[in-house]
Amino acid sequence: MPDEKRAVKVSKFLSLVLRHQPEAVGITLDEAGWVDVDVLIAACAARGRRFSRAELDHVVANNNKKRFAYSDDGRRIRASQGHSVQVELGLPAATPPAVLYHGTATATLPLILREGLKPMSRQDVHLSADLETAVRVGARHGRPAVLVVDAAGLAAAGHTFRVSANGVWLTDLVPPRWLRHQP
């Protein structure tokens, strides 16, 4: 797929379908978020969103955020995380690094520092292992701000962490006492 603009469009559409609205193309995700690749391609084509298996392979392999994953046999696909539809990714609990990061827009800082990080429309709070990723995430929403999460303290307090296939750390919520703004 030499046309990267098209790859971005396919990726964004797949994010919509595999994370938020599978019904938009008439598919159903299984309880772990998987759908048969051939079913996905046919359903998208039937709704005017045609792409080939080769194009899909390119998107899965080259998406800079590694948003999608194939099953071990390559016959099914799912989003790695970020679902607003109910799925159970089956990710085991993991011990986080001492510190994780969350990128957001500067405008949301007062509310987050007062109420903590909540999953909002998603199933989990998303955290980054490195500052650079958090800055990029925050920049998608306006002027970026980065929050430092005391992940070790949060884990010691009984919060569970999981890490997705693409390295995004997930947890249910982060109360304000475990956050500080990274100026």
| pTM (2 d.p.) | 0.80
Which class is domain 4-79?
mainly alpha
Q: How confident is the model at residue 1 (pLDDT cuts 50, 70, 90)?
A: very low
pLDDT per residue as tens digits for the range 164-176: 988 999 999 999 9
pLDDT at 174: 98
* HSE-up of residue 178 (Cα within 13 Å, Cβ side): 24
What kind of architecture, by CATH, is found in domain 99-182? Alpha-Beta Barrel (3.20)
> CA-CA distance, 20 to 101, in Å (whole number)?
24
SS3 of 127, please? strand
Both tokens assigned to 174: 């982060």
Q: Is 78 in contact with 17 (CB distance < 8 Å)?
A: no
Q: Which of 17-21, 126-130, 137-141 has the lowest mean pLDDT?
A: 137-141
Q: Is 112 in contact with 147 (CB distance < 8 Å)?
A: yes
Nearest to 148 by CA among 127, 124, 163: 127
Average pLDDT, the chain: 93
Domain chopping of the chain, boundaries: 4-79, 99-182
4-79 and 99-182 share one fold: no
Find the mean pLDDT for residues 65-83.
92
> CA-CA distance, 45 to 17, in Å (whole number)?
13
pLDDT at 123: 87
Find the mean pLDDT for residues 135-161.
94
- Interacting residues of 146 by C-beta distance below 8 A, sequence separation 6+: 101, 102, 103, 104, 131, 134, 135, 138, 181, 182
